[in-house]
Structures are given as structure tokens and as C-alpha cells.
């Protein structure tokens, strides 16, 4: 394994003591910091103040592909959405941990986390359409 690459652990895998939480903080303090970081990301993703939106201009209308075709094609789209959602959750978790450990700038983390949450919202909207009966 490359020395510069950080080792990732699978869910449920025991983490060695050397990979513990940053500093000598308790699990409760770590959980509280992660909860606070998540609240900040959520509020950054759902801001209503137009003066606070200085990001790249987003398109006014997002083109939504029609859910036409046989069930196999729609099922393929659903699997793609699940894989995308899994990568979004992984990215969001990484941002939250970095933000809680203060390893990343708060403004950068909030912008990246907000983008991830917006992408996740778009996927959830598509999943709501999947559940609708065909017309």
C-alpha cells in the first residue's frame, strides 16, 4: 500500500487503535462534532438567502429523462442511481469526518457537502417517479 494513501475500513471491521479519532476526545464528543457538522452541511444545502449563493450558475431547468421503455431499462437506471447514491454517501461521510476533525476548511466542506446533498435530492426525486404507476 502506498504510504501517502489512507487506509479505508469496511463497515463493521475493527479499527486498530492507531486509526482512532483525532486527538484524545471521547466517542460522545466525536459524535456531537459529527452531528454539528451534518447540521451545518444541511443548512448550507438548503439556504434561501440569494445573496449567499455565489457558486457557479446552475441551469434553470434540469432535463429529466423520461422513464420510458421496458422494465429492464428502468431497473438499469435504478441500479445506476443506487451506485451513485452509495458514492454520494461515502463522499458526504468523508466530508463530515474531515470537517469534524478540522482537517478541511469549513467553507469548502460546506460547499462540497451542499452539492452532494443536492445531487442526493435529485436522485430521491427520480426514485419517487419510479414508484409512480405508469400512465
Which positions ≥6 away from 7 have C-beta within 8 Å?
A: 1, 19
Domain boundaries, the chain: 23-51+70-131
For 41-59, what is each residue's pLDDT tens digit?
Answer: 666 666 555 444 444 444 4
Banded model confidence at residue 6, pLDDT cuts 50, 70, 90? low
For 60-88, what is each residue's pLDDT tens digit?
Answer: 554 444 555 556 677 778 888 888 888 88
For 90-103, what is each residue's pLDDT tens digit?
Answer: 888 888 888 778 78
Which of 8-38 are b and which e, b meaning 16 or more Cβ less than 10 Å from the residue's Cβ? eeeeeeeeeeeeebeeeeeeeebeebbeebb
The whole-angstrom separation of Cα 13 and Cα 1 is: 18
Amino acid at each position: 500500500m502506498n504510504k501517502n494513501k489512507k487506509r479505508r475500513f469496511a463497515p463493521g471491521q475493527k479499527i486498530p487503535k492507531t486509526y482512532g479519532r483525532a486527538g484524545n476526545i471521547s466517542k460522545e464528543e466525536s459524535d456531537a462534532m459529527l452531528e454539528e457538522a451534518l447540521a451545518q452541511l444541511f443548512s448550507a444545502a438548503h439556504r434561501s438567502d440569494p445573496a449567499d449563493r455565489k457558486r457557479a450558475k446552475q441551469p434553470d431547468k434540469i432535463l429529466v429523462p423520461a422513464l420510458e421503455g421496458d422494465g429492464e431499462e428502468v431497473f438499469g437506471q435504478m441500479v445506476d442511481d443506487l451506485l451513485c447514491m452509495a458514492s454520494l454517501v461515502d463522499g458526504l461521510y468523508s466530508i463530515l469526518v474531515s470537517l469534524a476533525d478540522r482537517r478541511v476548511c469549513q467553507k469548502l466542506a460546506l460547499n462540497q457537502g451542499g452539492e452532494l446533498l443536492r445531487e442526493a435530492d435529485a436522485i430521491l426525486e427520480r426514485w419517487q417517479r419510479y414508484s409512480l404507476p405508469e400512465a
